[in-house]
Structure 1
Amino acid sequence: MTHDSLTRRDFLKATGCLAAMGALVACRGEGDACVAPTVAAVRPNIVIVLADDLGYGDPGCYNAQSKIPTPHMDRLAAEGIRFTDAHSPSAVCTPTRYSLLTGRYCWRSSLKSGVLWGYSEPLIETDRLTLASMLKRHGYRTGCVGKWHLGLGWVTSDGETAKADNVDWNRPVTHGPQSLGFDSSFILPASLDMDPYCWLENGRVVEAPTDHTPASKRRWDGGGGYWRAGPIAPSFDFTNVLPTITSNAVEFVKRQERDSPFFLYVPLTAPHTPWMPTDEFRGTTEVDWYGDFVAQTDASIGRIVKALDDAGFRDETLVIVTSDNGSHWPVAQIERFGHRANGNWRGQKADIHEGGHRVPFVCRWPGRIEPGSRSDQTICLTDLMATFAAIVGDTLPSSAGPDSYNILPAMLAPKLAEPIREAIVHHSLHGTFAIRQGPWKLIDGLGSGGFTAPQKIEPELGEPAGQLYNLDNDPAEQNNLWSQRPEIVTRLAALLERYKQQGHSRPTLSEVRT
């Protein structure tokens, strides 16, 4: 089915085939774009593969000039839908994971900038609704395999705050995936460059990190190393981490039966540093260690999707592949390899500019999503909460998913005319805010707010205090219109402040009715 620009009536007609399966469609009002269609009777399996630091320009389906072969992501895009204007809620790891699982911007939490570490306290409250706990109450079996990086309830030998020398490795963590709706988990505590280097299965350390590893050298070649010094399990192998995650995800799929749906969340450790491709992939691309590791990441995605298809779950599974932020790929690397890991967008991981948070987002759901389709809707990874709730026919309480919009209409009707979101808020490593509405993007400050220099610029007298770009005319964010368009600056600044103060950006039911 092909879809022209759609309003409410068009969408109802286009998705009429869903009515027989118990679809319920709720819209803002006559003539407006649909915001909450549900497919309650379907209850598909749901698999999210969240790559770590995969750039918008790495997959070939997003960048025809990419120097890295990504046949598995490209095939998924050909079999489903590719979103061109998808964003991580933060330009770095932990905040994105928080927001993806809760539908809530992380800057509303206690973490206002930066990321957590391997011994950090849990960030998500046990009473906060997550994707896993929401789906579990609808009969889903839930699993998490990969990089956690949201804090764990380590038990310590002295009752003090957890650190490298006082964790009781023999005691299960008191708070982790199992506290947030996951039936099973096999995780790394944080990033692959953060100690402790060990695996936890269902809250227990598999092998205690009784050895110690020195820090590797910071370098862009020689394995793209960098990991910090710290406790390490005797058999822990950096190179084997990605294969281990992949194998455990595949095993989760193989254990599933047809009597109830399942939800699998696979936050990969790759292609985040250290770049550690196995021998099978070393030397297979033109982009050295990084390119080889992206190629291996793509192959891991392919293995997980193949496991779904081989097990007979293909037609009843929604697969989503995306990234937690942009690639850590500075200008020097672009010049060295001629590869634009973040496409033509400005900046890189951690930055407030588009390269920091515009990410690939590919979905496949055979029979529901049109193969080879594309959506230009502006979406955010926070939107998965409301979208999954719509799919299973749930109504989110006002305390859940405050920044989550249902993007199912765009998945099913990719040329939907009206924007689903009123606006989207971006956030950088160092806490710089930006807000985007339509083509306009306002950045509350000067500088990148992240890794790219200068990180912060103090405005001089009479100079703009921030940045304003029209992305339709200036996608590279080169022409700052702050001084020329004060009315847009005022409007967007007020909207950003309202979102901060009211505690939500998704309209409440009362706001929708008015």
Structure 2
Amino acid sequence: MKLYFLPFLFLAIYSCKEAEPASTPPNIIYILADDLGIGDIGAFNDSSKIKTPHLDQLANEGMKFTDAHTSSSVCTPTRYGIITGRYNWRSTLKNGVLTGISEALIPDDRTTIADVLGDNGYHTGFIGKWHLGWNWGTIQDSIIRGEGWDAKDTDNIDFTKEVTHTPNDLGFDYAYGHSGSLDMAPYVYIENGKATAIPDSVTVNTGKYSWWRKGPTSPDFEHEQVTPNFFNRGIKYISENAKNEKPYFLYLALPSPHTPILPTEEWQDKSGLNPYADFMMMIDDYVGKLVAEVNASGEGDNTIIIFTSDNGFSPAAKKKELEDKGHFPSYIYRGHKADIFEGGHRVPFIVKWPKEIKAGRSSDQIICTTDFIATCADIVGTTLNANEGEDSYSFLPILKSAEGKTARESIIHHSINGSFALRKEEWKLILCPGSGGWSNPRPNSKGIDTLPSYQLYNLAENPEETKNLITEYPQIALDLKKELVEIIDNGRSTAGPKQENDLGPKAWSQLEKIR
């Protein structure tokens, strides 16, 4: 190249850079409530008796998804799907949940949302309830015995030793939280693999709303203050990372309003309903404080805030008490936590991102909590490998445009006992005779063997799931069943090469019942 061309080349390069500035990646905050019903937030239930002004404002300033679902109707499985983008039943956990002493469910070599964002320049933080297992240190030459439901099951834990296979081993730069639900021992905070204090007492509570199992408790672990502590640490994380050049990702996993239901003194009796409603109001207020911190940081315009729940409300909320006062935690939907019915897995889902989302929008497209990892990959402009996010579909097109569509056409639901359902368009096929969970008719309850083995509902006409159409539309049921089995056998629901389910497709009994 001759030298007299160089000035023009430099000018051209400079001009191109000025014309197309690189976009700044957004900060991302994912707030996951625990056991919160879709009817507990005013933005999703015009008749809600619980005041949630800050969550309502978040929805009004962003957008809400009215047909959003968790991959499971209980805690651990849903959290697995959020972190990995994979349906929970593909893991080794085929039903139920982990406890506070369970070993790590996610292998270190599986790609997580923290890996995806960390590899693309993000500082990644986890604060809250993990409930995906990690490996406690043990007393010399001993192993942890039992499943974790009894206080003695923690006897062989050595709390002075490092905890391994923690969120730090799954891509999180910073991790602070406790192992299981707030009613599961041990009651110890772990920060980056180390206990913040060694347990010096054993606590138990048997209150109507505030019960928790007996177990070792650290001096800095006060059950009533756990939710405020996590919010305050989340706010601090935002404040500190807003000053850095890196964008940040905060996964704030709340232990509430799950049991123990513990509104602080300031919020007790504020709702006029019951302690669960008081607790909800307290959570709403803390969400308002967190959003205020984001705005104060100067990065509110380019920060994505997502708020959702890991499943529907729990019976511990005292459903009858609430309904007698006109509040319906599942809104118009049947069932609650643990169930295969809509109340078990249809959840509120709010996304605020002022830079990209026009305020006040609403979408009725189906999305799943497994879709988070693909959406984030889309946001940062990276592509997931064939063995990553196998059940994750990006909903970024919906966020960016009212005409945007997700590639998701169907969704698989899963209950606490491992029962399956497939939803496609208005149709939902349930492959068990009852709830598959805790509402009536329960699995193995009297008379359940007289019910049809399958249930088929048209949710457009009957969102309450009261009219079983299985005998009227057998071909629709057969088509949905075929699709469900294919998705299971393929090891993925997204396009791509076949993957293996952990332990193989014959590892759980519910699948064998539907073949």
Q: Under a length normalisation based on structure 2, what TM-score does the superposition of the two structures give?
A: 0.88
3-state SS, counterpart of residue 186 of structure 1:
strand
Of residues 325, 328, 337, the one that matches 1:337 is 325
Alignment RMSD (CA, Å)? 1.8
Of residues 372, 375, 395, the one that matches 1:384 is 372
Of residues 373, 390, 413, the one that matches 1:426 is 413
TM-fit CA distance, 1:415: 4.2
- 2:147 is the counterpart of 1:161: no
Using the alignment, how far apart are the partners of 1:214 and 1:183 within structure 2?
A: 33
Mapping of residues 50-69 of structure 1, within 5 Å:
50-69=32-51
Using the alignment, how far apart are the partners of 1:283 and 1:339 within structure 2?
A: 16
Aligned AA (1:161): I
1:127 maps to what in 2?
109
Q: Aligned in 2, Cα 1:146/1:444: closer, same or farther, shift over 3 Å?
A: same
Q: State whether residues 144 and 154 of structure 2, in contact with CA within 8 Å, keep that contact through their aligned partners in structure 1.
A: no
TM-fit CA distance, 1:286: 2.5
Deviations 1:428-451 (A, max 9, x none): 011110000000000001111111
Q: State whether residues 318 and 364 of structure 1, in contact with CA within 8 Å, keep that contact through their aligned partners in structure 2.
A: yes
1:255 maps to what in 2?
240
Of residues 170, 174, 179, the one that matches 1:180 is 170
TM-fit CA distance, 1:119: 0.4
TM-fit CA distance, 1:69: 0.8
Aligned AA (1:247): N
Using the alignment, how far apart are the partners of 2:218 and 2:434 within structure 1?
A: 41
1:484 maps to what in 2?
472
**Greater share of helix:** 2
TM-fit CA distance, 1:367: 2.1
Large movers: runs of 4+ above 4 Å: 457-461
1:101 maps to what in 2?
83
Of residues 340, 354, 357, the one that matches 1:369 is 357
2:186 maps to what in 1?
196
Q: Aligned in 2, Cα 1:310/1:466: closer, same or farther, shift over 3 Å?
A: same
Using the alignment, how far apart are the partners of 2:278 and 2:20 within structure 1?
A: 44
Q: State whether residues 434 and 448 of structure 2, in contact with CA within 8 Å, keep that contact through their aligned partners in structure 1.
A: no
3-state SS, counterpart of residue 368 of structure 1:
coil
1:406 maps to what in 2?
394
Using the alignment, how far apart are the partners of 1:312 and 1:49 within structure 2?
A: 20
Using the alignment, how far apart are the partners of 1:129 and 1:191 within structure 2?
A: 24
TM-fit CA distance, 1:234: 2.8
Mapping of residues 444-459 of structure 1, within 5 Å:
444-456=431-443
2:277 maps to what in 1?
291
Of residues 301, 311, 317, the one that matches 1:315 is 301
Aligned-pair identity in percent equals 45
Using the alignment, how far apart are the partners of 1:213 and 1:201 within structure 2?
A: 21
Aligned AA (1:324): D
Q: Under a length normalisation based on structure 1, what TM-score does the superposition of the two structures give?
A: 0.88
Using the alignment, how far apart are the partners of 1:499 and 1:354 within structure 2?
A: 21
Using the alignment, how far apart are the partners of 2:254 and 2:358 within structure 1?
A: 27
Aligned AA (1:357): H
Q: Aligned in 2, Cα 1:234/1:72: closer, same or farther, shift over 3 Å?
A: same
2:314 maps to what in 1?
328
Deviations 1:258-291 (A, max 9, x none): 4110000000011111110011111110221000
Q: State whether residues 21 and 42 of structure 1, in contact with CA within 8 Å, keep that contact through their aligned partners in structure 2.
A: no
Of residues 327, 335, 345, the one that matches 1:357 is 345
Q: State whether residues 274 and 322 of structure 2, in contact with CA within 8 Å, keep that contact through their aligned partners in structure 1.
A: no
Using the alignment, how far apart are the partners of 1:176 and 1:287 within structure 2?
A: 39
1:30 maps to what in 2?
none
3-state SS, counterpart of residue 365 of structure 2:
strand
Using the alignment, how far apart are the partners of 1:364 and 1:342 within structure 2?
A: 23
Deviations 1:48-101 (A, max 9, x none): 000011110011111111111111111111110100000011000000100000
Using the alignment, how far apart are the partners of 1:415 and 1:333 within structure 2?
A: 42
1:272 maps to what in 2?
258
Number of aligned residue pairs: 468
Aligned AA (1:227): W
